[in-house]
Structure 1
Amino acid sequence: MLLVLAGIVLVAVNLRAVVTSLGALLDEVRDGLHLSGAVAGVVTTVPTIAFAVFGATTPWLVRRVPPARLLVAAMSVLAVGQLLRVVTDSPAAFIGFSALALAGIAVTNVLLPMMVKQSFPDRPGLVTGAYTLSMSVGAAAASAAAVPVAHAFGSWRAGLGVWALLAAVAVLPWLPSALRRGQRIERREIHPSARIRPARTRIGWSMAVFFGMQSIGGYAVMGWLAQLFRDSGFTPSTAGLLLAGVTLFALPFALLMPALAGRVRRLRPLILGLTAVCGVSYVGLAIAPHAGAVLWVTLLGIGQTVFPVSLVVIGLRARTAEGTVALSAFAQSVGYLFASLGPLLVGILYEATGGWLAPLGVLAVALAIQAGAGVLISRPGYVEDQAHVSGANGPIEAVEATPAAVLAETGPLAAPLREAA
């Protein structure tokens, strides 16, 4: 179990470095590849699109490939993609190889909650906290070190490419398990041919909306916060350090909040409290980005620990490993489709207005919808109890749910989305 825990932690260190290193060097990449603001917005949107598309394939992969082998493959793809994207001068190839690297992360994002539930059923909150803490450490290290490494080697390519080595190291703890016959998901609770369909459940859509709204803020921050601080008068290196501060100041909370979520009887106060803290930081970034930078970064880091809380809730809303991976894949895939709008809209609005009030306004609306969806996922329940399960003898149970039905309960700010749905 210690080797499994070490492997999970080491893999988790890699899951945000590819994104935050790019955020810290976005200006240099834009100049080096001659990207417009809109194309730069596409570049910062690639993570969420890749996570949505490739994350959806994970349940299919898990049914055919043992988890250890799947993790080895995912980390290998991440390493190769990171290397290839820094040796090209083509914007299209850069985006394509970035998507390849992110495909490895997408599969791992979905797989880790299932592995935690299977390997550590009595400590899901604590282990989730440990691996999200590791994600934060990796994200902070990449944010802080990307610019100095690029300066030391005289190129932004080094500042991005060095993280491929970290992905290669993450393969090592999983090699012994990958080289022997692996264990697939146990399905003792349901028919072996059954499939859980979170798309037909209220829990599934509530988790997807919540995950998507918090991801809009998270990936917009990773992609654009350093640029906001540069525009407010900070040097590139200091802006990168401030971006790293979002994760550094949140480190104790990244461990505490998931453990707390796994133990408290009522999730609503925790989720709404973290959402409110994030809202205060947006207001501060809008009115005093330079004078209060450290305070806003600290609050933003604390508020964004709602992400590891969401991973714990995925496990709490499923009875089985099958249910966990199905709910994780659905919530993350659909959620990241929502989230893909965030960095893109921020890039378009930033280029159109030349400022940060409009982009921050979009993030504030997403935060309001996040609060409403957070209330819904706080209600007790299990995806297996609501899911349409297809087995050998046909449908077993069906409870219809739609995105419009969930958005209808997230408050008045969701009305335009409700009508669109």
Structure 2
Amino acid sequence: MLGRESGFFCAILLKVRKIFLKKRVYLLAGLGIILIGADLRLPITILPPILPQLHSILGVPTSVSGWLTTIPILMFALVSPAIGKWGVRAGNPQVLFYSLLLLTVGVAIRVITNPILLFVGMILIGIGLSGGNVLLPSIIQEYFPKQSALLTGIYPAMMTLFSGIGTATVVPILKTTNFSTTMIIFATVTVLTLVVWGSAFRQLPQTDHELESEEEAKGDFSVKNYRVTWLITLFFGIQSLLAYSLMTWMPNYWVDHGFTSTTAGVLSTFFQVFGIPMAFLTPTIAKRKPGTVGMVIFIAITVSIATFGLLFPVHSFFLNALWSGLSGMGTAAAFTLSIVFFQRKTASFELTAELSGTAQSVGYLLAAIGPIASGYLINIFHSWDLIFGIYFILAVSLGFLGFAIIFSKRIGEEQNNS
């Protein structure tokens, strides 16, 4: 009798231990996702404020220093589709870990005060960050379906928050230390992220990839065969172009219209700060179709009002802060809604990874071209009206694309129903 009771209690203890360990792993993985979000833009956004200093510190010519921030975005465009497919075959958590490992190598190489290694580091950083960009929406859908809206809101919000912190603090840190120390300080976020995700991903349950191989055996199944894929790709691409172009050129616009560079920098912070709550709230608001419709309308209205307002220069701090804040809110909401579309418009997390890779490849190519093309148009036509007129048209088009996406069928629905 005693033996039976002790066996019963041992079974209960083992079950409790298993539940505790499972909960611990998922908590650790959730923390890892939040840290990855914090690190998704930080290694890139700390460079623009110190580009002038890089000329004297590393001898990087001013004419090519702008490529330091363009290279990672080009890497996003080039490797995103491959990462999506690799994640489907090898497992998203594993591929994300290898991406973080490559990112860590990139930020470590950058610590060495050498211009060639700085560019090599930025290439590796771009490839490494692509893993987080592409795979996080799929991982959240796979392992955290009940917390999907929460985590899909938190990690873009952390991305925007830490991006702003990096931009605000990198110059003071560089002035009080040196280039290598500055890079080491910001690299600690990457190292911590690698350690946390490295501890979590091996303990996450392995996914059976038989479904993917069966679909491949059928022949030509691909997310690229679906109309909604290209609608989402255009939506993601246009919001990326708008976000990167506005961040790049609004400060120059304000300086050209009579504001000091310090005031222009302050106005730029409204773009980042007002984007944080919208990045966090968008997935929760867009849980149901009416909320998604509301977010599409909100995005189109805020960005179009801001870009239309910038067509009429006024030397008013309040009005320009309003245009900056509205454009920041709209573009942050559009980025997060893109992630929601990756998840909602696919019938499985494997398809989410593939769609995410396809859309981000084209999207970040537009993001890389947008600021450069805007600069050429400004130099040729010497007119801000042309630029913000184009941005206004693109902002309105986000509304039409959003509605088309909402009322499109999900990718892979036929396979699940057959």
User: Same-fold call, TM > 0.5?
Assistant: yes
Specify whether residues 181 and 212 from structure 1 end up closer, same or farther in structure 2 by C-alpha distance, changes over 3 A only.
closer
- Find the aligned partners of 1:62 and 1:343 in 2 and give their Cα distance: 31
1:142 and 1:70 map into 2 onto residues whose CA distance is 27
Farther-moved stretch of structure 1 (201-210 vs 356-365): 356-365
Q: Does 1:105 align with 2:117?
A: no
Distance 1:22 1:220, change over 3 A: farther
Determine helix, strand or coil for the equivalent of 2:412. Answer: helix
Which runs of 5 or more structure 1 residues have no equivalent in the other structure?
A: 390-395, 398-421
The 5 A counterparts of 1:56-75 are: 56-75=81-100
1:126 aligns with 2:153: no
SS at match of 1:383: coil
Structure-2 residue corresponding to 1:116: 140
Partner of 2:347 in structure 1? Answer: 319
| Deviation per residue, 1:368-387 (Å, 9 max, x gap) | 43333222112142111479
Q: Distance in 1 between matches of 2:138 and 2:68?
A: 29
Seen in structure 2, the aligned counterparts of structure 1 residues 11 and 289 have a Cα distance that, compared at 3 Å, is farther
**Offset of residue 279 of structure 1:** 1.8
The amino acid that maps onto 2:166 is A
Q: State yes or no: 1:274 paired with 2:299.
A: yes
> Deviation per CA, 1:273-331, whole angstroms, max 9, x where unpaired?
21220122223344237633321221122111111011011101011111111111111
> Is the contact made by 1:129 and 1:254 (CA closer than 8 Å) also made in structure 2?
yes
- Assess if the C-alpha contact under 8 Å between 1:65 and 1:184 holds in 2: no
Aligned to 2:28: 3
Query: CA offsets, 1:170-221, max 9 Å, x none?
Result: 1122222345686246555872645741111101111111110000011223
1:177 matches 2:200: yes
CA 1:347–1:187: 2 relative to 1, 3 Å: farther
Structure with the larger helix share: 2
Paired with 1:386 and 1:338, the residues of 2 have a C-alpha distance of: 31
Contact 2:303–2:392 (CA<8 Å) still a contact in 1?
no
* 1:354, distance to aligned residue in structure 2 (A): 5.7
**Bigger shift: 24-33 or 11-20?**
24-33
Q: Which residue of 1 aligns with 2:398?
A: 370
Deviates most, 166-175 or 180-189: 180-189
Q: What pairs with 1:15-414 in structure 2 (closer than 5 Å)? A: 15-29=40-54, 33-36=60-63, 39=64, 42-85=67-110, 87=112, 90=115, 94-153=118-177, 162-179=185-202, 183-184=206-207, 186-188=209-211, 191=214, 193=216, 196-232=221-257, 239-265=264-290, 267-286=292-311, 287-288=313-314, 291=317, 292-304=319-331, 305-352=333-380, 356-385=384-413
Deviates more, 1:289-298 or 1:165-174: 289-298
Q: Do the aligned residues in 2 keep the contact of 1:200 with 1:386 (CA within 8 Å)? A: no
CA pair 122-169 structure 1, distance change in 2 beyond 3 A: same
Against the structure 1 CA distance between its residues 238 and 70, is the aligned structure 2 distance closer, same or farther, given a 3 Å change threshold? Answer: farther
Counterpart code for 1:288? V
Cα shift at 1:229: 4.4
Q: Distance in 2 between matches of 1:30 and 1:346?
A: 24
Q: Which amino acid aligns with 1:317?
A: K
Residue 289 of structure 2 aligns to a residue whose secondary structure is: coil
Partner SS for 2:290: coil
Distance 1:55 1:189 in 2: 19
Distance 1:126 1:58, change over 3 A: same
Equivalent-residue separation in structure 1 for 2:143 and 2:85 (angstroms): 20
Q: Which moved more, 1:225-234 or 1:206-215?
A: 225-234
Segment of structure 1 superposing worse, 324-333 or 68-77: 68-77
Shift of 1:333: 1.3
**Which region of structure 1 is more displaced relative to structure 2, 360-369 or 209-218?**
360-369
| Structure 2 unaligned residues grouped into runs of 5+ | 1-25
> What is the aligned residue count?
386
Q: What is the rounded CA distance, in whole Å, between the counterparts of 1:102 and 1:216 in structure 2?
A: 17
Higher Cα Rg: structure 1 or 2? 2
Q: Is the partner of 2:47 in helix, strand or coil?
A: helix
Q: What is the TM-score of this pair, normalised by structure 2? A: 0.81
CA distance in 1, matches of 2:345, 2:243: 23
Note if contact 1:44-1:344 (Cα within 8 Å) is conserved in structure 2: no
Q: Give, in angstroms, the shift of residue 119 of structure 1.
A: 1.3
Amino acid at match of 2:391: L
Q: Distance in 1 between matches of 2:334 and 2:208?
A: 28
Give 1:162 shift: 3.7
Taking the aligned partners of 2:225 and 2:315, their CA distance within structure 1 comes to: 43
The answer on whether the counterparts of 1:136 and 1:251 sit within 8 Å (CA) in structure 2 is yes
Q: CA deviation at 1:79?
A: 3.0
